[in-house]
Amino acid sequence: MDAIKFVEQDVNGNIDFPDFKAGDSISVSYKIREGNKERIQVFQGTVIQRRGSGSHETFTVRKVSGGMGVERVFPLYSPFIDSIKVNKSGSVRRARIFYLRKRTGKSARIKEKLFVKKDDSAK
């Protein structure tokens, strides 16, 4: 297994994204290639899960756009991800907050985590 980790470390390199988890509100800047031109699209929403490990790790971001729920799955090590910004860290009790899908309006809110641990903020 260590050899696999070595290969993954070598090909993925170190990604310098901030640490985020389910419940956090983030903005993902995603590179989109149209022909020869490249532009950046920002997808802003709530992280509802992080899944997998190593090269295969992905995260799902959910937003409500015009009354319609939109979810997008990003591979964490995708070369198309330009940057990730954590707007708000949310306080939730589970790692996969799929219950958000059934909720709208007031009940779909997530409490903000106001006191962040010192070693977390260092990242």
Partner 1 sequence: MPGLLGKKIGMTSVFSAEGKNIPCTVLEAGPCVVTQVKTVDSDGYDSIQIAYGERKEKHTSDAMKGHFKKAGTTPKKKLVELRGVTEYKTGDELKVDIFEEGAWVDVTGTTKGKGFQGVVRRHGFAGVGDATHGQHNRLRAPGSIGAGSDPSRVFKGTRMAGQMGNVKATIQNLKVVKVYPDENLIVVKGSVPGAKGSSVLISI
| Biggest alpha carbon–alpha carbon distance for the chain | 48
Check residue 79 for interaction with partner 1 (CB under 8 A): yes
Closer residue to partner 1 in complex, CB, 54/69: 54
Q: How far apart are CA 84 and CA 19, in angstroms?
A: 9
- Report how far residue 67's alpha carbon sits from residue 86's, in angstroms, rounded to the nearest whole number: 23
Q: Which is nearer to partner 1, 18 or 52 (by Cβ)? A: 52
Supply the minimum distance, in Å, between the C-beta of residue 30 and partner 1. Answer: 11
Whole-angstrom Cα distance, residue 28 to residue 8? Answer: 22
> Which residues is 33 bridged to in the sheet?
38
Q: Which is nearer to partner 1, 32 or 116 (CB)?
A: 32
Does residue 10 bind partner 1 (CB under 8 A)? Answer: yes
Task: Please tell me whether residue 34 binds partner 1 under the rule CB under 8 A.
Answer: no
Residues forming a β-bridge with 68: 65
Which one, 7 or 116, has the nearer CB to partner 1?
Answer: 7
Tokens of 22: 């389910």
Q: Which of 4, 15, 42, 95 binds partner 1 (CB under 8 A)?
A: 4
Adjacent-strand bridge partners of 120: none
Give the interface with partner 1 as residue ranges (CB under 8 A): 1, 3-4, 6-8, 10-12, 54-56, 75, 77-80
